[in-house]
Chain A
């Protein structure tokens, strides 16, 4: 084998190692199934090993056992994990967070009467951390009813298993499109970060950032954003 072909083979091998080294885990609670999110992102991110998760627990478990080089998830989850550094933030209407609301049926909730109510949420972090996270956001003691899928929020409320839902404005809008119940939102002074991309400390951002920049309107809509901001 000539020196040139040896170098070429060596270069190809190193490229291949780098490509395989990039793994991206995606966890974005949504009505869209994880396999659909995964396939759609894969189509834009050749060379990156993309895996999407539909449940917080599955995501948290694999983050411990087989941490990836990058994650694409909501900002509170990135913050909770600690070891990943945010490199890109998703934005909607020019801002990188969105407001959260209380949702009830027929009547808005009296904010002085929230303590002791059962509050339904989509689980992002697991039982204890999620409870701490929501308590911190709402500044009151609450009883949390967690569901693993966004679509389970509506039955949670309509069957009376929760008194109130605590959801993002976009989830509320989605529920109103789906249901004919008289869903009422009570505005809160609470904003939570949208989906963002974060890297493990020693990982290079190149391929993941390039992949995200290729996201079209459909993928962004699926992820609840309309643009990306590099940090």
Chain B
């Protein structure tokens, strides 16, 4: 059988796929920008406000980058508040800055602000800072932004829905469909994500799943070797499954090629990823993917908005929430190749079943 590296070279389409996945991660990590928006001026998408709209129960001002995923979040919000609250959607593109946020805030005087994506969250943080310590701000909800928890302490009167799918959500679904046990699950993580992984482990423990983590440095010239060694260590510990975090440093194309693919090839266990592209059959990487349901994020955001409405636009609880709804994909071809049997009846609970 050809080595994974040779296979890799023979498959430029797969290489392109991984580069497509990993390059945005790099951009994302460096600048905490979720999406590269086009350089256009701010656009108010809500259209002209009619007098009737002023009689609605409140105004939601949403800052949204371009992209289908963000559109789905807005759809989820809109369908829940339509006809009762005024929803104004502002394009949070590359040119979004403090001045533009100030203008929108002054024009619409929102009862609640929704921030989608890391750029909107960061710029709104700058806006609050620029407004001075004594300024009061309406409640805000941040979502569809990576590691939003790390940004929350700098924001006033702001809650969030995390973007990362909690490990327990993914692993309970894996356990529900594979016939082999899922009791011990390995995960590699960089030090900066220790808190996240510890929190995952707590939830997993309640579900009878032992999350075995191997901590890697935040940066290293030998990250590929560290990953390869850690995968070997996890193999020796006979983990039942492997969870791969969406980490741009661990998942560079170089690391995928040199470490992940050869390491995973030796382990005949379910590999759980957070990006659907990584369960592509040709890639021979993941067998399950669990990614955020963007419409669900919108509905969950709307649920917080209605709680605020019910409580005179004040938060009862400002803690960040876990996302409730996920999109589930299973690759039965990859599982079958690894001789992992599935409960056929439970496949119907997956959004996508890849069989070829």
Contacts and interface: CB of A to CB of B under 8 A. Distances in A.
Interface string A202-228: 000000000000000000001000000
Contact of A149 (B207, B322, B325, B348): B325
Contacts of B348: 31-33, 36, 222
A126 to B, nearest CB: 9
Interface residues of B, number: 26
Contact of B79 (A57, A155, A181): A57
B351 A155 contact: no
Interface stretch (B168-176, B186-194, B275-283): B168-176
A152 B349 contact: no
A10 interface: no
**How many A residues are at the interface, by size bracket?**
20 to 34
A170 interface: no
Given A32-B349, A33-B350, A158 B206 contact: yes
Contacts of B206: 158, 180-181
A41 B306 CA distance: 37
Contacts of B349: 31-33, 151
Residue among B296, B307, B325, B348 with the highest chain A CB neighbour number at 10 A: B348
Given A155-B169, A159-B321, A180 B208 contact: yes
B172 A178 contact: yes
B79 A159 contact: no
Given A33-B351, A146-B303, A161-B324, A178 B296 contact: no
A95 interface: no
A154 B299 contact: no
A23 B173 CA distance: 34
Interface string A144-164: 011111011011101101000
B147 interface: no
Contact of B325 (A57, A143, A147, A158): A147
B53 interface: no
B80 interface: yes
Contacts, number: 59
Contact of A147 (B322, B324, B350): B324
A156 B324 contact: yes
A206 B166 CA distance: 48
Interface core residue of A127, A148, A156, A180 (most chain B CB under 10 Å):
A148
B127 interface: no
A68 to B, nearest CB: 20
Given A32-B348, A148-B296, A154 B172 contact: yes
Contacts of A127: 80, 306
B166 to A, nearest CB: 8
Contacts of B173: 151
B249 to A, nearest CB: 28
23 contacts: A32-B349, A33-B350, A36-B348, A127-B306, A146-B299, A147-B324, A148-B296, A148-B325, A152-B296, A152-B325, A154-B172, A155-B324, A156-B324, A159-B203, A159-B321, A159-B324, A161-B321, A178-B172, A179-B207, A180-B206, A180-B207, A180-B208, A181-B206
Sorted nearest first, the 5 A-B pairs with minimum C-beta distance are: A180-B208, A36-B348, A32-B348, A31-B349, A159-B322
